[in-house]
Amino acid sequence: MREIFVRSLPLNEVIANLAESFDTVYFSSCHEYRINIPEEFGNGFIRGVNFHSGFGLIEYSCTFKESLMIHFSVNKIHPLKFIYCSEGSVKHRFEERDHLHLIDQFQNVIVASTSKNGHILVFPRSQKIHLNSLEISRKDFKEKIDCELNHVDSNLKKLFRDLNARNLFFHHGNYSLSMSDCIEKIKNNEYDGFTRKLFLEGKSNEILSIQIKDFEDDRKDEPKRQILRKSEMTQIQKAVQLLKNQLADPMTIKDLAKQVGTNPTKLQEGFRYTFGLTVNNYLNKLRLEYARDQLMIGDLNISEIVVNIGITNKSYFSRLFKTTYHLNPKEFSKQISRNLTVNER
């Protein structure tokens, strides 16, 4: 395992120090600093950008040929770090502790070391990593958050006010869909210069505001959590499959949520995020698609189709079908027959 040591602050000096450790150069533009990983070490890049009030962002998008341990060991009070892993997995540990914390895909940590102790990040070999780290210089950031901490969770309030790094802080969670959207927009933005810096600063502030809400939700017992996490999207796909398999006798939303291991609020959020529809609206979409396909095949009559999709009222079914396909089921079936006749001539 390779080891490199970063003994500099603030963020621009961190990037310069990393460039020196990789025996390469770094590039700067509009307070953004970037190094391209030399081929000897792997590929990808590490870049950082400074914002106002001691606030900054470091983005790692890289693959290393062998495991790499980066020691952030400057003899100063270290910034607060809000770390988000959107691809691969890395490990973190405090300089003053031996235990390694795994940060897996779609997970995040909030970390604050004590006194002048630092942080260590461990990158695995031959694995694509995408990592964002919000870096907050405690004393410089103080003026930004001094006025409105009364409505913030008491634990985060203590964290932001711990200017002299008296307390170790660690929080591990799964980040939300809103957070995922922000991270993807940072990753894929194509702005340049001043516009780029404004965009990145806006998204970084948005990430921090979402993180405060996510943290408050994490503090609740599992049944009371309301925010759907990116890592929980597999549960939405399971729910979709259950709906498809049980069109004739679908579960209630409450039972469906329980079956896939979530709660109704998260289930609805997942369906709105993925399909732009509520669970019931998505169920009706599946029913109507099944009915349309069966009318086109022609093996089942309308009464049989209605039974198969669990709708007892034929008039209601007819209205739903016409709203979507602009013909009622009989008219649609006749249209299909006419088209077949024309094609056979």
Question: Count of domains in the chain?
Answer: 2
Give yes or no: residues 90 and 51 share one domain.
Answer: yes
Give yes or no: residues 296 and 204 share one domain.
Answer: no
Q: What is the pLDDT of residue 251?
A: 95
Q: What is the pLDDT of residue 341?
A: 58
Give yes or no: residues 212 and 246 share one domain.
Answer: no
Give yes or no: residues 57 and 176 share one domain.
Answer: yes
| 272-321 confidence digits (pLDDT tens) | 999 999 999 999 999 999 999 999 998 899 999 999 999 988 899 999 99
Q: What is the pLDDT of residue 197?
A: 93
Give yes or no: residues 177 and 253 share one domain.
Answer: no
Position with higher pLDDT, 254 vs 142: 254
Would you say residue 19 has pLDDT above 70? yes
Give yes or no: residues 184 and 245 share one domain.
Answer: no
Mean pLDDT of the chain: 93
Domain boundary (172, 191, 222) is at 222
Give yes or no: residues 218 and 235 share one domain.
Answer: no
| 85-137 confidence digits (pLDDT tens) | 999 999 999 999 999 999 999 999 999 999 999 999 999 999 999 999 999 99
| 33-75 confidence digits (pLDDT tens) | 999 999 999 999 999 999 988 999 999 999 999 999 999 999 9
Give yes or no: residues 82 and 208 share one domain.
Answer: yes
Q: What is the pLDDT of residue 283?
A: 96
Position with higher pLDDT, 183 vs 333: 183
Give yes or no: residues 266 and 158 share one domain.
Answer: no
Q: How sure is the predictor about 337, in pLDDT bands with cuts at 50, 70 and 90?
A: confident
Q: What is the pLDDT of residue 79?
A: 95
3-state secondary structure the chain: CEEEEECCCCHHHHHHHHHHHCCCCCEEECCEEEEECCCCCEEEEEEEEECCCCEEEEEEEEEECCCEEEEECCCCCCCEEEEEEEECCEEEEECCCCCCEEECCCEEEEEECCCCCCEEEEECECCCEEEEEEEECHHHHHHHHCCCCCCCCHHHHHHHHCCCCCCCEEEEEECEHHHHHHHHHHHHCCCCHHHHHHHHHHHHHHHHHHHHHHHHHHCCCHHHCCCCEHHHHHHHHHHHHHHHHCCCCCCCHHHHHHHHCCCHHHHHHHHHHHHCCCHHHHHHHHHHHHHHHHHHHCCCCHHHHHHHCCCCCHHHHHHHHHHHHCCCHHHHHHHHHHHHHHHHC
Q: How sure is the predictor about 147, in pLDDT bands with cuts at 50, 70 and 90?
A: low
Q: What is the pLDDT of residue 336?
A: 81
Domain boundary (222, 254, 289) is at 222
Give yes or no: residues 210 and 272 share one domain.
Answer: no
Q: Residue 246 sits in which domain range?
A: 230-344
Domain boundary (222, 239, 270) is at 222
Give yes or no: residues 44 and 187 share one domain.
Answer: yes
* Residue 236, domain CATH: 1.10.10.60
Give yes or no: residues 206 and 124 share one domain.
Answer: yes
* Residue 200, domain CATH: 2.60.120.10
